[in-house]
Structure 1
Amino acid sequence: MGASLSALGTNGTNIGPGLGDIPESCVACVFLYLTPPEICNLARLNRAFRGAASADSVWEAKLPPNYQHLLDLMPPERILQEVWLDRVTGKVCMSISAKATAITGIDDRRYWNWIPTKESRFQTVAYLQQIWWFEVDGDVKFPFPADVYTVCFRLHLGKFSRRLGRRVCNYEHTHGWDIKPVKFELSTSDGQEASGEHCLDETECVDAYGNHKRGCWVNYKVGEFVVSGIEPTTEVRFSMKQIDCTHSKGGLCVDSVFIIPSNLKER
C-alpha cells in the first residue's frame, strides 16, 4: 500500500518508485560506505532509511576491530583517562589527565597547584608558579588498533579565571619559557622513539591572525608512533622537560596528553 501511494504524483499519475520503496537491506549496504554523521542525516528521510540506520551490522562496521576488548577495559568511570571514537572515522582517541602523570615537585605548593576549571575535560589542571627543574613524565599501556598516532601535550601560558562572566588571564608568574626550548620525547614498547623541541613563549605572533601563545591552549606535538597490530597492547612513554637550572620558569598550566590518529590531527 505504502509503495503504491509513493508512486503516485499529486494528480494521481504514476511517477515510478521513490526512495521509500528501496529495501532496507539495500540501504544498509550503501550506509556501509558512509560516515556516521551522513548516516544520521539520511535516517531522517523515511522509514526505510531509518530502519537501515538502526541495523547493528551498519554500526559494527564503523567500530575498531577490537572494540569488544576496548569495552572490557573501560570501567564505569574514567577519572584520569578518557577513550572515545572519532564521530566521523570511528578511530580510537585517548586523553590522559595531568593527574595521571609524574610531575616533579607537584606535592610542594610553593611550585605547583591544582586549579579547577571547565576548560579541561578532567575539570582540573596543574598550574606551575615557579620551578627550576621542570619535568613531566607519563606512560600508558593500551590495545591501540593498527594506525599511526600522534602524541601531544595540551598546555596554556598564564593563569586564567572568569570575572563577571569574562575570561581573563594573569601572567604574573609567566617567565623563563623564552630562554630555552622545552624538550618533548616519546618511546614505545616495541622500540620506537621520537623527540622534538618547542619554545613555549615567543614575542612574535605564531600565525597570520596575530594570535600569541599566551592566553590560549596549545597542543605541542611530541612525536608519532606506528601500531602494526601484531602485539595485543602497546606501551607508550612520554615526557617534557626543561631542566636547565640556570634560570627558573613558571606561569604554565598543564592539562593533559592526547594520543590521536595522525590523520585526524591533520584534519
Structure 2
Amino acid sequence: MEKQKGEVEDDEKKNTCLWMLPEVCVADILAFTTPLDVCRLSLVSTWLKSAADSDSVWAKFLPSDYRSVIAGSLTPIPEFPSLKELFVYLSHNHFLIDQGLKSFSLDKWTGKKCYFLSARDLNITWGDTPEYWGWTSLPESRFPEVARLEIVWWLEIWGTIRAGILSPLTSYTAYFVYKLEEDFYGFDTRYMEVSVGISGVESEMQVAYLHPEPQYVPEDSYESPYSPPSPYQAFARMDMGPWPAESDSFTFPKLRDDGWFELELGEYFTGNEDDCIELRMQDVKTGCTKRGLIVEGIEIRPSCM
C-alpha cells in the first residue's frame, strides 16, 4: 500500500533534525550553500521548500549593491514578488548599463556578478580611423554597435575594469568575444598574445589563436598579398621575439551558444578592490595583414570550479 504524502513527510522528519529548527534557522543554514543546492533542497519536502524560497536566503545570493546596479539599467527591470524570482531573472537575462557600454548579469551557479564590456568600451588602436576599423550593428549582438576590422597590421585591443565592482574574493576569467567574416585574413596562420593583469604592471603574455583550426606556417614561408604602408614596413618586426614552436601550448577559441566565438584571455582573483584590471588581446610583433574580425567585446565571469 502506497504511503500518503503526509506520511512520507513524517518519515522524512524522523530521519533528519532540520525539522526541529525554526524556519528562520533553516534559512540561515541554507544561505551558506549555493543557489543550486537550495533549489535541489526545495524539492525534498514542502516544509523545507518554504525556508528555501524565503527572501532571507536569496538576499544572500544577490550582490549587496544589486539595487543600485538595477537602477542603472537602460531598460526597466520587472518587479518580482520574491528575491528568488529576481535572482532567476538576473541569472538568465542580461541588461545594458553605463549608457549601453556594458551589460550585467548574475552567474546562475554562484550569484557572482558578470560584466560584458562592449567594443565601444574597449581601447582599439586606430579604432576611429575608417580605413582600418568600421562600426556597425548586428541583430545577434547584445550591444548597439560592434567593431569591424577593415585591415590592419598592428592589432591591439584592451579594456579595463575596476576590481571593486566585481564580486569580492572571487576568481574571474576574461573572454574576448568575436566573429570572423567569411573573407577574413591573417587569423588562421598567425597567433595572438593575450593577458589579464593589473593596469600599469607588466603581465606575462600567453599565445592564442582566434581561428578554431589554425594552420601553422613558418615565418619564412608566410607571404601576405598586402603590404604595410611606409614607413610602417621598416619597423613592423622591430623587437619581435621568436615564433612559437608547433609543440608550444596554445589557447584556442570555443563557439558559444549565442553563435559568437570566445577566446580566454586569462584569470584574475579579486583580492584587492582598488586594483584596475587590464584585459588585452594583440598582435603587435608580426606586422602581418589582418582583416575580417568582428569584435563584440570582452566578458568577465566567475571561473569554472
User: Please, what TM-score do these two structures have when normalized by structure 2?
Assistant: 0.62
Please say if residues 181 and 197 of structure 1, whose CA atoms lie closer than 8 Å, have aligned partners that are also in contact. Answer: yes
**Which residue in the other structure is 1:218 paired with?**
261
2:171 aligns with one of 116, 124, 148:
148
Asked if structure 2 preserves the Cα contact closer than 8 Å seen for 1:192 and 1:225, the reply is no
Partner of 1:76: 73
Q: Does 1:122 align with 2:150?
A: no
CA contact (8 A) 1:20 1:47 kept: no
User: Could you say what secondary structure the match of 2:291 adopts?
Assistant: coil
Contact between 1:125 and 1:253, CA under 8 Å: does it hold in 2? yes
CA distance in 1, matches of 2:270, 2:202: 10
Q: What number of residue pairs does the alignment pair up?
A: 232
SS of equivalent residue, structure 1 residue 17? helix
**Correspondence for 1:109:** 130
Amino acid at match of 1:197: V
Query: Residue 122 of structure 1: CA displacement?
Result: 2.1
Once structures 1 and 2 are overlaid, which stretch shifts more, 52-61 or 126-135? 52-61
Q: Please list, as runs of the form range in 1=range in 2, the aligned pairs for 1:233-248 lying within 5 A after superposition.
A: 233-244=274-285, 246-248=287-289
CA distance in 2, matches of 1:45, 1:16: 9
The structure carrying a bigger strand percent of its residues is 1
**AA at the equivalent of 1:220:** L
Letter aligned with residue 182 of structure 1: M
Tell me if 1:177 matches 2:187: yes
Aligned to 1:251: 292
What RMSD in Å do the two structures reach over aligned CA positions?
A: 3.7
Matching residue of 2:34: 35
Q: Distance in 1 between matches of 2:106 and 2:301?
A: 10
Match of 2:209 among 187, 191, 199: 199
The 8 Å contact of residues 152 and 222 in structure 1, kept in 2 or not, is answered as: yes
Structure 2 counterpart of 1:181, one-letter code: Y
Match of 2:132, as an amino acid?
Answer: Y
In the alignment, which residue of structure 2 is the partner of 1:59? 58
Shift of 1:100: 0.3
- Offset at 1:257? 0.7
Alignment of 1:90-101 (within 5 A): 90-101=111-122
Unmatched 5+ residue regions in structure 2? 75-96, 216-251
1:61 positional shift:
2.8
- For 2:187 and 2:136, the matched residues in 1 are separated by 21
Displacement after TM superposition at 1:153 (Å): 0.8
**Pair 27,69 (structure 1): closer, same or farther in 2 beyond 3 Å:** closer
* 1:207-256 deviation line (CA, Å, top 9, x unaligned): xxxx998996332222222222xx44331112222234743210111111
Alpha-carbon separation, structure 2, partners of 1:33 and 1:111: 51
Deviation at 1:191, TM superposition (A): 4.7
Following superposition of structure 1 onto structure 2, how do residues 10-29 of structure 1 map, counting pairs within 5 Å?
Answer: 17=10, 22=19, 24-25=23-24, 27-28=26-27
In structure 1, stretches of 5+ residues that fail to align are 1-8, 159-170, 205-210
Contact 1:130–1:250 at 8 Å: present in 2 too?
Answer: yes
Q: Is this contact kept in 1: 2:177–2:296, CA < 8 A? A: yes
- 1:61 alignment partner, SS class: helix
Structure 1 residues 176-231: Cα deviation after superposition (integer angstroms, max 9, x where no partner)? 12343111233215958342121323446xxxxxx998996332222222222xx4
Amino acid at match of 1:108: T
| Structure with the bigger percentage of helix | 2
